[in-house]
Structure formats: C-alpha cells, structure tokens
C-alpha cells in the first residue's frame, strides 16, 4: 500500500513556479513508476530486515520556503573547519554562505541536464530513487573539468531542522572528468523531529580520475536518513567511500557502483554506531563489468541497547570481468545482549579467473582480551573502551583530511561513554 500523503505533495511540486516545467515529464514518469511499485516490504529480499513503517506512517510534507533559515547560519557550530562548504538547509541551497574550491563548476540540475542534452539517466534502483526523481529539490551539479586536481576538500552540509514531518529529496550530480581528482565530504547534521532525508547522488568518474567520498551522518535520533549513491567508474578510476554514521532513527545507505572500465578500483568502507532503538542498514552492490578491476566492501557495526543493524553487500563479477580482485568483510561488535545484527555478504561470479573473498563475524568483546588488559593494571571499563576503539580504528583512521579525524574521534569517544 502506498501512503496517501505523497499524491498531494506531488501536485505541489508540479505547481511550484520556481521549478522548471521542463523537468516535469521526468518527475511525472518517476512518480508514476513509484505509484506502480510502491515501497519495498519485508518480503523483498533486499529489504527483509528493515521496517519502513516509520516512513509509511510519516505523513511527510515537502519542505517549503518557510522552512528556509530565517537568518544566516553559523556553520562553525557543526565542527570541521577549513572546508569549502555548500550548505543545504531543509533542502534549500544557501548560496550566500556557500563556497566551493577553485576549479569546480557548480550548475543547477536544469543547467546540468541541458549541458548533457537531456541524456542523463535517472536512477531506478529502488522506490527511493523514484521518489527522489519525482521530488528532487536543492538540485546541484558539480563538475570537475579534465586534468584538474582539486586540492582543497569540499563539504556538502545537509542541515535538517523543524518539527513538522518535513521531507527533503536532494539530488546531487557529480562528474569528475578525465585525470581529475576531488575529495568531498557529505555531512548530515541538525535538530529535527520525524524528518525524512532521501538524497540521491549520481556520480560519474572518468578515466584516470579519483574521487574520495566521506560521509558523516550525525542526524538527530528522530530523523530518517536514506542515502542513495550511484557510481559509474571508467578505466583506471578510483572511488573511495568512507562512512561514519551514528545518527538517525532509521537510516539506510544504498550504494550501487558500476565498474565499466578496465582497471578501476572501488573501495566502500563504513563504521556504523547504534544505540537505543536505532536501526542502521548498509546495502551495497558493486558490479564488475570489465577486467582487471578491484573492489572492496568493509563495514563495521557497533551496536548497543536494543539497536539493530543490517549489512547487505553484493559483488557481482560479470563474464568479461576476468582478473577481478574483490573482497568483502563485515565485522560487528555487539555491546548488548538485546542488539541484533543481520549480515549478508554475497558474491555472484560469472568469470573464471578471479580472486574473490568474503567474510563476516558478529560477537561480543573477548573476555580473554579484557582480562589481558586488566592483568596490566587497566580497569575493566577502560579495557572495554580500548578494545572498542581498537575495533573501530581501522575505519576512523581513514578520515584524514583537515580536522575530520579529531571530529570523529570526539564523537566516537562521546558515543562510547554514553
């Protein structure tokens, strides 16, 4: 069953004067498609362990002009200095306080579509993609031209605020052209109640280009955060994704990476921390279309209280993709007897000359390790903290640029000691 609140909200989108009518057919097509398929339910294999009733019952409304900030926002309160920042507040781009590093072009989605002769493929991997296309707002497209190495990292800061069941569907297009490189941080913050973020990123990485993508999701504990990330990688390109997530009541990332050129490398990593009744789901599909590519998926969850987590990682190696090197790892630490983790790493291999591995483990802290530390004079609680920190360090240490490491360590330590 499809919640009734989407239909009137869709009519509002179509009536909005400041959205170009040229995009309407794309929106309408997606919305029709959404109505046809509806939301996933728990009979769908890829959604088996994630209950979407919070969204279905949410009665969300679109973010309006009145939900834009009344006065200029001080971004320094969200930590992380020294970033050029694009600020998106409740789906509204805050141009006056946004800056971008030299060498990046920023376009509206309309300009982007026109520049590409309207040949931009719209994502259709899940109902959330369809909703995003139907409702897309705050559309920004970023283009890094050929042979440009952007040294300063760029942050896109999503601030959610409000108590009125707001929903936002940001759409980001990101093209990293031949032999260019960029580091981008996607940061989610804000105080909001019953809020739905459903963002889609469409990323193209051309030959020999590099994209380093960080994602820090620290929404309030009432917010729903659905992140959809689509990556197409050409020959010898590199994509490295690192997530640090601790916010949201219900959060899910859907990552779809297609390695369509020889020798591309895709590395997806994440650390998810949950407590209370939080539910975190990390879903990813890496598809090897061509030979000599490498990929990895390495996600860790640490769960407290009644929280729950899902890891679904799939690596698909097509017939042509010989000499693929692919590995998956999902390791989880349960700090409570009531926490639940579902782990499902999968390999689908259709080529014969490949190196693929996968592994998963879920468990509590080792009593032997705690005793070992105690026998060196470290008290039990500190010993546990040290072990949890050790478990997390592999991912945390990937957050190197600017003051990200310090920022994350601060939030991690605070989380451990709740």
Partner 1 sequence: MLDIKNLYAGVDDKEILKGINLFIKPGETHAVMGRNGSGKSTLSNLITGKDGYNLSKGEILYKNESIIDWAPEKRALEGIFMSFQYPVVMPGVNNTYFLKAALNAKLKNEGKKELDAAGFLKLVKKKLNDLDMDTSYLQRAVNEGFSGGEKKRNEILQMLTLEPELSIMDETDSGLDIDALKTIASGINRYRNPDRSFLVITHYQRLLKYIEPDFVHVLIDGRIVKSGGKELALELEKKGYQWLES
Contacts with partner 1, residue ranges (CB under 8 A): 366-369, 371-380, 382, 386-387, 389-394
Q: Per residue in 136-172, is it b (16+ CB within 10 Å) or e — as a string?
A: bbbbbbbbbeeebebebbbbbbbbbbbeeebbbbbbb
Separation between Cα atoms, residue 399 and residue 413, nearest integer Å? 15
Instruction: Tell me phi and psi for residue 97, to 5 degrees.
Output: -110, 10
**Residue number, 340 or 378, with CB nearest to partner 1:** 378
**Residue number, 84 or 405, with CB nearest to partner 1:** 405
Provide the β-strand partners of residue 356.
326
The residue whose two tokens read 């991690």 is 412
Nearest approach, Cβ of 383 to partner 1 (angstroms)? 8
Cβ atoms 250, 276 nearer than 8 A: no
Burial of 386 (0-12, 13-18, 19+ CB in 10 A): middle
Nearest approach, Cβ of 389 to partner 1 (angstroms)? 7
Phi-psi map region of 380: left, alpha, beta (phi>0 left; psi -120 to 50 alpha): alpha
Nearest CA to 234 among 256, 255, 203, 275? 203
- The DSSP 8-state label assigned to residue 114 in this structure reads H
**Residue number, 324 or 362, with CB nearest to partner 1:** 362
Nearest approach, Cβ of 369 to partner 1 (angstroms)? 5
Nearest approach, Cβ of 298 to partner 1 (angstroms)? 13
Nearest approach, Cβ of 256 to partner 1 (angstroms)? 30
What six digits make up the tokens of 48?
């088996």
**Residue number, 26 or 387, with CB nearest to partner 1:** 387
**Residue number, 2 or 387, with CB nearest to partner 1:** 387
Cβ atoms 281, 49 nearer than 8 A: yes
Cβ atoms 239, 266 nearer than 8 A: yes
Nearest approach, Cβ of 380 to partner 1 (angstroms)? 7
**Residue number, 44 or 372, with CB nearest to partner 1:** 372
């Amino acid at each position: 069953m499809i919640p009734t609140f989407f239909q009137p909200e869709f009519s509002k989108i179509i009536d909005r004067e400041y959205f170009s009518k040229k995009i309407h057919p794309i929106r309408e097509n997606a919305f029709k498609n959404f109505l046809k398929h509806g939301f996933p339910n728990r009979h769908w294999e890829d959604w088996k362990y994630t209950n979407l009733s919070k969204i279905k019952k949410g009665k969300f409304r679109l973010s309006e002009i009145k939900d834009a900030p009344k006065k200029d926002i001080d971004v320094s309160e969200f930590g992380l200095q020294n970033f050029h920042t694009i600020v998106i507040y409740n789906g509204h781009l805050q141009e006056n306080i946004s800056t971008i590093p030299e060498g990046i072009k920023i376009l509206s989605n309309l300009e982007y579509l026109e520049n590409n002769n309207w040949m931009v493929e719209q994502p259709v991997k899940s109902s959330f993609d369809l909703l995003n296309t139907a409702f897309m707002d705050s559309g920004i497209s970023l283009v890094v031209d050929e042979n440009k190495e952007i040294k300063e990292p760029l942050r896109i800061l999503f601030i959610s605020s409000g108590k009125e069941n707001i929903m936002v569907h940001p759409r980001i297009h990101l093209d990293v052209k031949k032999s260019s490189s960029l580091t981008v941080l996607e940061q989610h913050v804000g105080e909001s109640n019953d809020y739905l973020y459903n963002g889609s990123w469409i990323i193209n990485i051309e030959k020999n280009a590099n994209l380093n993508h960080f994602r820090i999701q620290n929404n309030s504990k009432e917010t729903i955060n659905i992140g959809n990330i689509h990556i197409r990688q050409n020959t010898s390109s590199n994509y490295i994704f690192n997530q640090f997530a601790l916010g949201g009541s219900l959060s899910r990332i859907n990552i779809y990476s297609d390695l369509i050129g020889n020798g591309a490398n895709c590395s997806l990593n994440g650390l998810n921390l949950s407590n209370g009744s939080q539910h975190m789901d990390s879903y990813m599909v890496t598809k090897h279309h061509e030979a000599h590519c490498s990929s990895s998926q390495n996600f860790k969850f640490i769960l407290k209280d009644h929280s729950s987590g899902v890891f679904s990682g799939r690596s698909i190696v097509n017939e042509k993709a010989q000499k693929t090197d692919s590995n998956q790892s999902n390791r989880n630490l349960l700090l409570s007897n009531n926490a639940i983790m579902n782990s499902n790493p999968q390999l689908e291999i259709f080529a014969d000359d490949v190196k693929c591995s996968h592994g998963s483990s879920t468990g509590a802290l080792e009593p032997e390790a705690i005793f070992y530390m105690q026998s060196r004079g470290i008290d039990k609680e500190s010993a546990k903290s040290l072990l949890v920190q050790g478990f997390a360090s592999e991912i945390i240490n990937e957050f190197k640029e600017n003051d990200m490491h310090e920022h994350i360590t601060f939030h991690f330590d605070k989380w451990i000691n709740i």
